[in-house]
Amino acid sequence: MGHSDTVLVARENGVLRVTLNRPEKLNSFNEEMHLALCAAFRRAHDEPEVRAVLLTGAGRGFSAGQDLGDRDPRKGGPAPDLGHTLETFYNPTLRLIRALEKPVICAVNGVAAGAGANIALTCDIVLAAESARFIQAFSRIGLIPDAGGSWSLTRILGEPRAKALALTAEPLDAATAAAWGLIWKAVPDAELMGEAEALAARLAAGPTIGLGLTKRLIQAAGTQSFDAQLDLERDCQREAGRTADYSEGVTAFLEKRTPEFRGQ
């Protein structure tokens, strides 16, 4: 896949910081950026030293979704197969984010439109700058909410708000998104990155296996019966109870000190 500066990736103290980096195009997605983002999440999966991911955008926006200049219809040629684009470029990354058993924090530093908004909403904990806006821009250009948006919006907000946002493409401000439970919280612009970094650092110093199992359980709850969920809790707790971090957590409690989790 090779090096690409369309996504900046750096690991520090267990946090893999992933920065969408086409600021002159509001971090809209071309193929190179897709491949680089997917590679970053594969790295997060493969490297045990990575214990949390922090996703954000360079410049004044988070992401404006698909790069609409990439396939200019005025240039002619056959209509592109957008289903193929989703299956090849978006969906693998979205599946990786959900399947990654490590916390993924998203710091929405500015406008998040179209697939850009919905990639953010696929992350585990979303913080947004107060000036950020979430726009389901798809209906403005004749498309449907993709990148998991039809699922996330409906699951999180219910049909009335999901339909209104998707059909009208009206911008949703960060404070309302937080009040509706679409994101974790809205943060004053100047404090966003500091707060997101502190959260990522805290989670990266956590009991990584237990946090990953917690993510798995919460995601499973949406499709399972209460009985099946109790079974899954039993299995996950069994696994968590065998980790070194559980021993350390209990030992530290009994010794009245702060635990030192190693993610094992």
What is the binding site for ligand LHQ (CB under 6 A)? 25-26, 28, 64-69, 82, 85-86, 111, 113-115, 135, 137-138, 140-141, 143, 146
CA distances to 50, 156, 236 from 229, in Å: 28, 19, 10
Nearest distance, CB of residue 192 and ligand LHQ, angstroms: 17
Q: In the block, which residue shows the tokens 């980790």?
A: 243
Nearest distance, CB of residue 141 and ligand LHQ, angstroms: 5
Tokens of 255: 């010794």
**Left (φ > 0), alpha (ψ -120 to 50) or beta: where does 145 sit?**
beta
Nearest distance, CB of residue 214 and ligand LHQ, angstroms: 30
Tokens of 175: 């404070």
Q: Which is nearer to ligand LHQ, 19 or 28 (CB)?
A: 28
Cα distance between residue 45 and residue 50, in whole Å: 8
Nearest distance, CB of residue 63 and ligand LHQ, angstroms: 8
Q: Which is nearer to ligand LHQ, 151 or 197 (CB)?
A: 151
Q: In the block, which residue shows the tokens 């289903």?
A: 83
Q: Which is nearer to ligand LHQ, 106 or 135 (CB)?
A: 135
Q: Which is nearer to ligand LHQ, 86 or 217 (CB)?
A: 86
Pairing, β 125-129 against β 104-108: parallel
Q: Which is nearer to ligand LHQ, 107 or 137 (CB)?
A: 137
Tokens of 164: 């209104």
Q: Which is nearer to ligand LHQ, 128 or 211 (CB)?
A: 128
Amino acid at 71: R
Q: Which is nearer to ligand LHQ, 55 or 203 (CB)?
A: 55
Cα distance between residue 115 and residue 66, in whole Å: 7
Nearest distance, CB of residue 138 and ligand LHQ, angstroms: 5
Nearest distance, CB of residue 86 and ligand LHQ, angstroms: 5
Q: Which is nearer to ligand LHQ, 170 or 260 (CB)?
A: 170
DSSP H/E element including 42: helix 31-46
Nearest distance, CB of residue 30 and ligand LHQ, angstroms: 9
DSSP 65-96: SB-TTTT-GGG-SSPP-HHHHIIIIIHHHHHH
DSSP H/E element including 221: helix 208-221
Pairing, β 111-113 against β 133-135: parallel
Nearest distance, CB of residue 148 and ligand LHQ, angstroms: 11
